[in-house]
Amino acid sequence: MRQSHFFLVALTTTSLAVGVTSFRSGVPAISRVGSVSPAAPMLEPRSGHTATLLPGGKVLIAGGMRRNQDFYRSAELFDPATGRFTAISKMTTKRGQPSGTLLANGDVLIAGGADHDSPGGMVSAEILRASTLTFEPAGSMHHARISHTAMLLDDGRVLIAGGRGESVTAGAELYDPKTRRFTETGSMFTARYKHTAGVLPDGRVLIAGGSNDQDWRGTMSSAEVYDPRSGRFKATSPLNDNRFKLPDEAVHLSSGRVLISGGSTKVEIYDPESGKFLIASGQMNDTWHFMSETLLKDGTVLLAGGYSNNDRGTAQTWIFRP
């Protein structure tokens, strides 16, 4: 039955290139940076899932939804060596749009999300034990969150920012794996959810895009950067496109730049040296929402799933090659 949801993918490679001039300044100059091509489908069509690279090189895909009313407890692993997905044990509860963060010990923190079609999220969290590939409950956050971001800091803590409980929040908190507790930290300049975040080479965290309580009518291009040393956020240059329903983690490339996909047919790359977003030439075949992007061991990036302008998830995937 699952095979009825598979998609035929063409063997066409779309080249991407990044402009090196300022955003919003006319047609940018182009330099080649890599390409994207289709890959094997997941076992389940899903959007709003997590995608976390494990120490052994496989990718954990967990939760998400087939439709807005059909949420998953299921999880699967992608093996880059074979290019295929296999099922593993289920999470403790259904979670759509949670966060998934690899901890320093190899376990994965899964936090928040929703177990049904609801504007707000849950406070609960759970841990995937990498040694057994099983899930167990963890502590609870200070605030219910869905469509937030959760980034591993250099000191081993996890920065959890934004999201929605009863309303969209600018609040942020830190998870400490040593104590298994959550503590609050400085707030963002802008309340946002369905945004993305990526770690910069100096340990700061980029927060970009998303939307406010108006959702589709409140999409954003704004961005800001969190400094773990001060515990504060600072504004930076905006994206070229307003975009939301983004991957919860934007990939940090070996060049030090951060790749942002989803919420638009375009791919953008943040350059920390200039503090600006660059546009890649070549586009995906649709505006995919709640897709995921994961850096693989060989330096390529797996772009997976999402949905376009309907509530049906796709099993399509792409590979970005620098």
* 3-state class (DSSP) for residue 115: coil
Per DSSP, 58 falls in state -
Note down the domain range covering 49: 2-321
Write down the pLDDT at residue 195.
Answer: 95
Q: Which of 162, 128, 122 minimizes the C-alpha distance to 50?
A: 128
Half-sphere CA count of 275, side-chain side, radius 13 A: 9
CATH code of 284's domain: 2.120.10.80
| pLDDT at residue 271 greater than cutoff 90 | yes
Q: Which residues pair with 86 in a beta bridge?
A: 77
| pLDDT at residue 189 greater than cutoff 60 | yes
Residue appearing with tokens 């375009």: 266
* pLDDT tens digits, one per residue of 102-154: 999 999 999 999 998 888 899 999 999 999 999 999 989 999 999 899 999 99
Alpha-carbon distance of 285 to 87, in angstroms, equals 28
* 3-state class (DSSP) for residue 90: coil
Instruction: Please tell me whether the overall predicted TM-score, pTM, comes out greater than 0.95 for this model.
Output: no
Q: With contact defined as beta carbons under 8 Å apart, do 233 and 186 qualify?
A: yes
Q: Which residues pair with 318 in a beta bridge?
A: 38, 303
Total tally of structural domains belonging to the chain: 1
Residues comprising the chain, all counted: 322
| pLDDT at residue 67 greater than cutoff 80 | no
| CB neighbour list of residue 4: distance below 8 Å, 6 or more residues apart | none
Half-sphere CA count of 82, side-chain side, radius 13 A: 10
